[in-house]
Structures are given as structure tokens and as C-alpha cells.
Amino acid sequence: MTATFPPPPPGFRLVHHDDRVLLADKPADFLCVPGRGPEGADCLSARVQADWPDALVVHRLDMATSGLVLFARGAAMQRSLSIAFAQRQMHKRYEAVVAGLLAEDAGDITLPLLADWPRRPLQKVDLVAGKPSHTRWQVLSRDAAAGTTRLALHPVTGRTHQLRLHLAAIGHPILGDVFYAPPPLDAAAPRLLLHACHLAWQDEAGQHAFDSPVPF
């Protein structure tokens, strides 16, 4: 029986599909894969698989993050793309608006991260036991009046909440971040201002690059 869903949330769209891959634009505050209970059944993967049953998840975005999510058509393609992610052959770019005016125009954050088990799903910086984590950032613009900076973010590693925690750890949390920003900065935006805007890779079929317009 075909799954039935309510109207899709604003921002949901199919970006591309062929016989190998499928890309979808995930709205903010929408699950990437099924969550707990009946209320967690409506999610990006379920919506995609209702029309393309062979579409398999390759990677995920946080529920609060919007942007490009890649699906593989079939298990063999899923293995190939998963290897490409693991070997850092996927080029990912995010855009975010953070609190404060960064003094430099670009930089790297290499703080090691670890699950904060008593406060799951939060993560924490742990200089002793944390896993190596690397984020590159570049200033796109500064808004002196608002006291914010728009950044391009390039996650070299892919730890849970890496971008959110790395930026909070250097004193520039992402606006709208309920997990890592102090309450006034969480309340400064109607959503987490983090969007997966670019995904590119190369394989035997050639070069592939896709973009999603930033909705904030």
C-alpha cells in the first residue's frame, strides 16, 4: 500500500534524479529518517521512497538543518557513495549566520568532539577522548548593525553536530541553535540558520555538482 502523507512542508523539493542517485532539498525542522513513534514516520526518506522505493539513504542532516540530501538508487550505489563520503571525496558546503563579527576572513576549527552521553543528543569538545574533527570556514559578509557574520562552512570531517558545536566553541554560535546557543541567540532567528547549499563529487560517470538556494 502506498504511503500517504500530509502536504509537504515548505521547502521540500526534488532537486535531481536519475537511474543512479536522487537529491532532495530537506526543509528545516523536518526529520531526515524516521524518528520514534507514529509522529516520526513522516520524514524525508519516507517521502522520497514513496515514489522511488529503491532510494537508500547515504548521509543525513540534523533535523534543524535544511538543504541537500543525497540518496542512492540501490544497494551497490549506496556502498559506492558511502565509501566516497568516508574517504572525503564528497565536497560539501554549508552556509550559516552566526553571532558576532569574526575578525579574520577565514580559518580552521580542529577541536575534537565526543558524544555528551548524559545529555544526548548533545555533543561536547573533549581534548582527551574526542574524535578528530575539522571545519573550514570563510566569511561571506558581516552585518555590523546586527552583530552577525554570514559564513561558508566546509566540514572536512562529518561528526554529529560538528558545525554547530565548533562555531559555538569559538564563541560564534549559529543563530537559532536550541542546543548550543544561549537563549537570546537561539531566539534571534525563527529556525537554525544553517543550510547545506552545495554537494559535488566525481565518479566513473563524470563530475556532479548540485546547489540549493539559501532560504535565509
Reported as a pLDDT band with limits 50, 70 and 90, residue 205 is: confident
How many residues does the structure list for the chain? 216
- Compute the average pLDDT of residues 113-141: 96
Q: 3-class DSSP state for residue 165? A: helix
Note the pLDDT tens digit of each residue in 6-35: 777 777 899 999 999 999 999 999 999 998
pLDDT score of 1: 46
Looking at 62, 126, 143, 177, which residue is catalytic? 62
**From CA 90, how far away is CA 77, in angstroms rounded?**
14
| Model confidence, pTM | 0.93
Query: Within a 13 Å sphere around the CA of 196, how many CA atoms are in the beta-carbon half?
Result: 29
Look over the chain and give the mean of its residue pLDDT values, rounded to a whole number. Answer: 93
Reported as a pLDDT band with limits 50, 70 and 90, residue 3 is: low
Q: How many CB atoms lie within 10 A of CB 8?
A: 13
Active site residue 62: yes
Note the pLDDT tens digit of each residue in 163-172: 999 999 999 9
Q: Which three cell numbers stand for residue 28?
A: 528545516
